[in-house]
Amino acid sequence: MPATERRIIYRHIDEPGYTTDLVCYQRHGGYEILRKAIQRQPEELVQEVKDSGLKGRGGAGFPTGVKWGFLDRKSGKPVYLICNADESEPGTYKDRQIIYKDPHQLIEGTVLSAFAIQARLAFIYIRGEMFGGFTILERAIEEARAANFVGNNILGSGYSVDIIVHRGAGCYICGEETGLIESLEGKRAYPRIKPPYFPAVLGLYNCPTIVNNVETLCQVKHVLDMGGKEFAKIGVPGDSGTHIWGLSGHVAKPGYYEIESGKATVRDLLYDFGGGPPAGRTIKAIIPGGVSMKILRMGEKFKVKLPDGSPGEWGVLDIPLDSGSFAQCGTSLGTSGMIFMDDTTDMVEALANLNAFYAHESCGQCTPCREGSLWLKKITTRVCDGGGRMEDIDLVKTIADQVAGRTICAHGEAVAWPCQSNVPKFRDEWEAKIRAQIHAREHPEGAATTARTGLRLV
């Protein structure tokens, strides 16, 4: 039986006749959850989120309720909520659909979460490039304010919160929560060092701050609708709810599919939803969730512990779509934006493409990341341009090893992981490519050519 979707967050996305205005949202039961929840105690709502086991959907997968529990209540300083709508992990485009097609769902989720943590001011930090999304959100907030779902004394409850939509200006690093906070303070988005700058204690303006992803805030709305314990029954233990999988790259039908956690496999995603690889091709590799996650090569086998506790073995296509399963295979589902690469893909070029991205996006604060990402870009690009040396293979791996864990923020890991996984897993391709280049340099008169053929990735 083919796997099916279970649309909770995306219930109305792309539904014919569904529009972004308040009237349409309310016709579909919009703001009813807020109406009920705002009569309850904020602590109860936090407990519901804790009970739900909801994990953040921004890539790191940290439990949302636990994050909220870290809030410093003793300082007496104001609490801020920031919605991270700076969607910029390559391969990820799930938040865009919510912002552009169902903005009120995000606003309701934001107000509910702000109420639960007792924030009086919330920000939605949206990518600068999403100009359309910015205007849609601004309009939606105006509508919600006019209807008293946002603003002063919401629905007569005595609770007030305002939402400011704030535009970024094209920086990947603003997706990192402390970088985002610096950016929102009007500075360069240099991530802060933790400790002491845990946002829940010393966040925006050094006040307690919670930063949550767009999808996470929408999930909160459904947690409060069903109740935490009911929500926890969706999916598998340890990863409740649904994941919105965004397929891209070499797949017949790229697109987004909301699937109950753990209830389908990579095979289902590729064949039942994605329509398989493009005609006549086979898939060579996948990156599970945003390009920073470690790559998987078709044919790899993983020794795993099955849900019943017995030992088992999975191939890449057998991996169930939940965070624990990907962790067992040495990678992570991250933001659940899966990129497929078929047999025409040059894996060295694919890595060079990503290295160019990371070199461009490193904020420049920490030396290992700033210099390392640039060296990695230069070396991999040189290999793509025909100047490869055999020692480059280990060099790439060594540099990556020296970036990871030596930086203030996780951008260091993001730089390192693609290199650390691509190089050992595709070493045969690296060697063949470089061997041909060496041969061509030694025999310039020969027919062998290192000119780039086919698809250029860098």
Residues found near other proteins in the complex (CB under 8 A): 78, 87-93, 95-96, 121, 127-132, 162, 164, 166-172, 183-189, 205, 246-250, 254-256, 287, 291, 337, 339, 341, 345, 350, 353-354, 356-357, 360-361, 363, 455-458
Q: Burial-class residue 313 by CB neighbours within 10 Å (0-12, 13-18, 19+).
A: exposed
Residue placing its CB nearer to other proteins in the complex, 170 or 227: 170
CB of 377 to other proteins, least distance (A): 13
Chain centre to alpha carbon of residue 244: 10
Distance of alpha carbon 429 from alpha carbon 419, whole angstroms: 14
Q: Which residue in this structure is represented by tokens 């690296």?
A: 430
**Which lies closer to other proteins via its Cβ, residue 31 or residue 426?**
426
Burial class (CB in 10 A: 0-12, 13-18, 19+), 276: middle
Nearer to other proteins, 236 or 252 (CB): 252
Q: Minimum distance between the CB of residue 142 and other proteins, rounded to whole angstroms?
A: 13
The nearer residue to other proteins, 212 or 240, going by C-beta atoms, is: 212
Residue type, 417: W
Q: Which is nearer to other proteins, 69 or 255 (CB)?
A: 255
Smallest gap from Cβ 372 to other proteins, in A, equals: 18
| Nearest residue (CB) to other proteins, 164 versus 306 | 164
Is the Cβ of residue 111 or residue 189 nearer to other proteins in the bound state? 189
Pick the closer one to other proteins by CB: 62 or 205.
205
- Core vs surface per residue 132-170: b (16+ CB within 10 A) or e: ebbebbbebbebbbeeebbbeebeeeebebebebbbbee
Cβ proximity to other proteins, 90 vs 368, nearer residue: 90
Cα radius of gyration rounded to whole Å, the chain = 23
Min CB(54)–other proteins separation in Å: 22
- Shortest Cβ 171–other proteins spacing (Å): 6
Six token digits for residue 229: 């314990």
First vs last C-alpha separation in the chain: 40
- Bridge partners (DSSP) of residue 44 are none
Q: Bridge-partner residues for 211, per DSSP?
A: 82
Max CA separation in the chain (angstroms): 84
CB of 457 to other proteins, least distance (A): 5
In the complex, minimum distance from the CB of residue 249 to other proteins, in angstroms, rounded to a whole number: 4
- State the nearest-atom distance from the C-beta of 305 to other proteins, in Å: 32
Closest CB 219 distance from other proteins, rounded Å: 19
Q: Rounded to the nearest whole angstrom, what is the least distance from the CB of residue 128 to other proteins in the complex?
A: 5
CB atoms within 10 A of CB 128: 15
Strands 337-342, 242-249: pairing kind: parallel
Rank residues 277 and 388 by Cβ distance to other proteins and give the closer one. 277
Instruction: At 257, list the tokens.
Output: 């599919």
Which CB atom, from 154 or from 354, has the smaller least distance to other proteins?
A: 354
Q: How far is the CB of 300 from other proteins (least distance, A)?
A: 20
Which amino acid would we find at residue 135?
Answer: T
